[in-house]
Structures are given as structure tokens and as C-alpha cells.
Amino acid sequence: MNLRNLTILLGSTTTVLAATIISPSLPGMADAFSDVPNVDLLVPLALTMPALFIAVGALFAGYLLDKIGRRPVLIVSLILYGVFGTVGFFLDSLIGILISRAILGLAVAGIMSGFTTLILDYFEGDELNKFLGWQGAFIGLGGMVFLLAAGILADVGWKFPFLVHLFALLILPGVFISIVEPEKLPNASESRAVDAGKLPWRQVAPIYMIALVGMIIFFVFPVQIPFYLAENPEITGSQVGLALSLNTLSSVIAALLYQRIKARFSFQFIVGLIFIFFALNHFIVSLSPSYSIVVTGLLVGGLGIGLFPPNNSGWLATVTQPQIRGKAVGGMTSLTFLGQFLSPIVTQPIIERVGLADTFTLLAIVTLLIGLLFFTVFRMKRPFYSEPLPIEQARP
């Protein structure tokens, strides 16, 4: 594997750091700021705050990627990530931590959109599906390693997992040395498609909606599992980190199998499969806060999350043209992380009313229905979903 590809894959792992790395610290953070009003809402927001600003920042990042290039956006974003991801270790203010997490989110928007756009620029066909699978595997493997480290560090002190964000600075040399801009892409007036400069909304809308809803449903786990397991006082922060990391272990397996799965099934069928895995995850976890049962559920759910990013990105590549790809990926990134941010806001009222276990059961039912809907639509061959562009339009 050459340095360029390794840089892209390692850089992609930084996104999971922002999403879940402080998850094992949440109970300790809640104790440390127990005198702060609304701490029960603010502490989970420390985990999901980057997601809101990724959602906003990705729209601008997509524009900048197409306007000034992939490389400068990545360089600036990685520097911001390393600085503001780590600063939480030194802060003694919950509000200060939330602000730093917001800036971290803007950095992640540039990183995730930039590396994913480069993948769509550099690869096509089976090679694209293969590399998207590798990207998903590296994200999952990074999540497993970093969450294990975060769980161990959280036992030392709840602030220590913030230091893991320094990893982003190790990616910078690879970007400087190996990342080059793709060949000049045609502008809208040069394209053979009449509206090539505009997003094909009918085609991208289903992909965007899947990204939003899927993350609202899935992200309940990194937010709520630490509190669910905390009902057992014998479970440590490192065990919470291990449980969440095993979720990413199974996602690695699914991501590595993505190319083979895609060779047999459509994007839409795979969406149905993803939501079925999510439903099983929720149902198993709802049975008991027993550590073994929760780990089993997370292992099953990891199969779904491993297929989720490569399937969405691959589907998006088939319905968008190169000169608007940064914008298209930025939109998908925005809605993916908006779903992460909205997840605790949507689910917290339900949790307060019926409890965590029953919330997992309700989400299992909703997710199962979504999965069955996609299976049914796929079998009926209904045209609500988008068909791929002809190859001569997709890649001039």
C-alpha cells in the first residue's frame, strides 16, 4: 500500500475519534460538573457537539473542496483538529469544553469530506468499492483501538482521552508529501450534462435521508451505553471502552466484506440489511444491561455500521459528477453528523418517559420496519430510489 492510500485511510480514522472517543469519560465528566445546571443534558452534548458543527461546516467544506482544492482544506482541518481536540484536557469549564468541541467539529467536516472526496476522485468501479470497504475497515479498527485506549485512560482520569486527538498531527506529513489534487475537473459549462453544476436532488435525497435517520438511530449507543452499563457499579470505564470497541471490531469485518456484498446486491438492498442489523442490535441490548448481552448486541450492530459509510459513499458516487463531488459529499457528511447531534435530543424525552431498555425496544421496532420497507421496495423494483448514471456521465 502506497503512502497516499495509507494517509487517506489513517486520516479517515480521525472522524471516529471526534464521534466517540470521550464516551467512556461521560460518567466521570458528569460527576466532575455535577453542580452545573442541566448537566444531564450538557454532558451528552459534549460527545455530540462536534456533530452539529460538522453538519454545518461540511456544507462549507464541500464548497471549499471544489473551489480551492482538497489538499489545503485537509491541511488546515488537521491542524485545527489536533489543537482543539486536545484542549479539553486543560479546561476546567464545561462550557469551554463544549466550545472546543464545536471547533473540533468544523475541523472534522473538512477532514471527512476531504478524504472521502479524494477516494471518489482517485478510484472507480470495483476498485472504488474495495477502497471504500478498506476505509470503513480502518475507521472501525481505529475506533476499536482508540476506544480501548480511551477506556483505559478514562480509568486514570476523565480528561485523559482528550489527548488521543493528537493523532491527527501525525497525519499531516503524509498529506504534505503524498496528497495531490486530482486532474482538473470540468466546470458546469464544459460538462455534457445540462445541469451538471447542480446537485441531482431526486437521486441524492434518498441517500441523504438514510444518512440522517441511520445516525439518529445508531448513535443512541455511544451516548447511552455508558450510562446503561453504569447501572452495574462493578463495570469500569475500560470495560465500557471494550464494549464499544467490540462494536467497531465487527464493523471492520463487515466493511472488508463490502466489495463482495456489493457485487451481489444493490445499494438499496444493502440499506435494508443495515437497518435489520441495527434492529437486532437494539432488541438484544434491550433484554438486559448485562455486560455479555450488551456486548452481543453491539457486535451485531457493528455489522450494520460497517456497511453504512461505504454503501452511502458508493451510491453517491454513481449519481453525482466529479465537478460537484465535494459539494455532494459535504451534504452527505452534514446530514450524517446532524443525525448524531440530534440523536440524544430525539431520544432523551423517550428515555425519561419509558427508560433506556424500553427505548431500545421501541427503536428496534422502528428500525426493523425501515429495513423491511427497503427489502420490499427492492423486491418490487419501485423507482423511488435513484438509478446510477451511465458511466460516461458519471466519470467524464
Residue position matching grid coordinates 460538522 = 54
Indicate the residue type of 76. V
Whole-number Å distance between alpha carbons of 277 and 121: 30
Q: What is the pLDDT along the chain (396 residues), one digit of tens a residue?
A: 689 999 999 998 887 777 677 877 888 888 888 888 888 778 878 877 887 888 889 888 888 888 888 899 999 999 999 999 999 899 888 899 999 999 999 999 999 889 988 998 888 888 888 898 898 888 878 777 887 788 788 888 888 989 888 988 999 999 999 998 876 544 444 444 434 457 788 888 889 999 999 989 888 877 788 778 877 777 776 777 777 777 778 888 898 899 889 888 888 889 999 999 999 999 998 888 788 888 898 899 889 988 998 999 889 888 887 778 788 888 888 898 888 878 888 888 888 899 888 999 999 999 999 999 888 776 554 444 444 444 434 443
Cβ(54)–Cβ(233) under 8 Å? no
Measured over the CA atoms of residue 311, residue 75, residue 342 and residue 335, the dihedral's sign is negative
pLDDT at 390: 43
Residues 6+ apart with CB under 8 A from 349: none
Measured over the CA atoms of residue 154, residue 160, residue 161 and residue 167, the dihedral's sign is negative
CA neighbor of 240 nearest in space, from 354, 152, 119, 181: 152
Cβ(117)–Cβ(323) under 8 Å? no
DSSP 233: T
Cβ(238)–Cβ(260) under 8 Å? no
Whole-number Å distance between alpha carbons of 229 and 153: 18
pLDDT at 146: 81
Whole-number Å distance between alpha carbons of 121 and 143: 25
What are the C-alpha distances in Å from 171 to residues 7, 12, 81, 116, 179? 7, 10, 11, 15, 11
Residues 6+ apart with CB under 8 A from 265: 273
pLDDT at 274: 93
Whole-number Å distance between alpha carbons of 151 and 111: 25
No. of helices (H) and no. of strands (E), the chain: 17, 0
Grid cell for residue 127: 476498485
pLDDT at 194: 36
**Residue 180 burial (CB count, 10 A):** 12
**Residue 188 burial (CB count, 10 A):** 14
Cβ(82)–Cβ(165) under 8 Å? yes
pLDDT at 391: 40
Measured over the CA atoms of residue 62, residue 63, residue 64 and residue 69, the dihedral's sign is positive
Grid cell for residue 159: 480528561
Q: What is the pTM of this model?
A: 0.74
| CA angle, residues 16, 22, 24, in degrees to nearest 5 | 115
- 144 CB burial (10 A radius; 0-12, 13-18, 19+): buried
- HEC profile of 287-343: CCCCHHHHHHHHHHHHHHHHHHHHHHHHHHHHHCCHHHHHHHHHHHHHHHHHHHHHH
Whole-number Å distance between alpha carbons of 251 and 246: 9
Measured over the CA atoms of residue 344, residue 346, residue 347 and residue 351, the dihedral's sign is positive
Cβ(294)–Cβ(243) under 8 Å? yes
Whole-number Å distance between alpha carbons of 282 and 363: 7
CATH code of the domain occupying 3-180+199-394: 1.20.1250.20
Grid cell for residue 125: 468501479
